[in-house]
Amino acid sequence: IQKVPMKKKMIFVVVVCFVTGLMLHAASAMLQAETAFVTIGSGDFTGVYFPTGLTIAKMINKKHNQLGIRATVKSTRGSVFNLNAIMAGYLEFGLVQSDIQYEAVKGLTAWAKKGPQKELRAVFSIHHESVCLVAAVDADINAITDLKGKKVNIGNLGSGHYQNAIDALQAAGLRPRQDIDAEKAEASEAPILLQEKRIDAFFFTVGHPSETLQNATSGERKVRFIPIAGSDIDQLVAEQNYYIETTVPVAKFYPGAQNSGDVKTFGVIATLCTSSTIPDQMVYTITKEVFDNFTEFKRQLPAFGNLTKEGMLKGLTAPLHPGAKKYFKEIGLLQ
């Protein structure tokens, strides 16, 4: 048997290692090229939207090698911002209140000049959100009509709760520009403004529990939740199908509030939205990951406690994305 010289053996080993390295690098590059990167628009850090976005992103990233998707979450100014960013192509997905979704599809309020957002697509709905009205006890506010002449934070223009506050005030017969001294600070700033006596009350639409509301109800200045209920609010909910009757779970989550029990109000449903330009397979994969691991998903946040798979198809006024529709048909939630 002819022996191969040591020098040739070494050259052979080096060549094999080099070729193997090139193959591994090429495989890695192909894998990287096949990975899709998506961003989910959420909301303020202290609200429920941000941890909701994180929950979805973590579920995707946990299996990114299998799913071929990596997700990041962006804290934003809220529903209106998210929806506009989706339509502009800056975000692939975003959390949007059901009423904001409806207005965009119909070309109302913030979209009156732009017209109907025909490329907006719904994926699924998530938790219910209450329209909360928090007032200082010393401001002598016991009903929404008592806000007349008071300094009230109605939220920043890029948020969903801004429009909810306007709707609540108008339903109660109050003119937002004339009858109250309106402040337009972000929701996270409202507890500080209230405790420093710079405002008398604030509106905030949110799922529960909310860190913002916990901060507001645990300060030295005593506060209470004000009911947003009555025949005028009943009529508002009846006329606008994106609104629902709900309560603020004061006893469970906000014991520092000066209320004897839960408080009646109206609310919306948080929804995950996207654009018609997002590939069907991507939307299908994300929807499937959440619903196939539904029990795990529900455990992530207290706000998800009452979720049902059937309920996560309610409050969707934009057309369902074909990717989501395909999955829902597969599991029998749609015909």
Q: Buried b / exposed e across 189-199, counting CB within 10 Å, b at 16+? A: bbbebbbeeeb
- Is the pLDDT score of 7 beyond 60? no
pLDDT digits (tens, 9 = 90+) for 255-275: 999 999 999 999 999 999 999
Tell me the one-letter amino acid at 133. L
Largest CA distance in the chain: 104
Average pLDDT of the segment spanning 63-83: 94
Residue 287: partners with Cβ closer than 8 Å, 6 or more residues away: 123, 124, 323, 324, 327, 328
- Mean pLDDT for all residues in the chain: 90
pLDDT digits (tens, 9 = 90+) for 104-155: 999 998 899 999 999 999 999 999 999 999 999 999 999 999 999 999 999 9
pLDDT digits (tens, 9 = 90+) for 183-222: 999 988 999 999 999 999 999 999 999 999 999 999 999 9
- Is the pLDDT score of 321 beyond 90? yes
- Is the pLDDT score of 18 beyond 80? no
Cα–Cα distance, 156 to 223 (Å, whole number): 22
Between 22 and 207, name the one with better pLDDT.
Answer: 207
pTM of the model: 0.82
Structure letter (DSSP) for residue 2: P
Mutual orientation of helices 79-88 and 98-106 as an angle, nearest 10°? Answer: 50
Closest Cα to residue 269, out of 199, 206, 212? 206
- Is the pLDDT score of 22 beyond 50? no
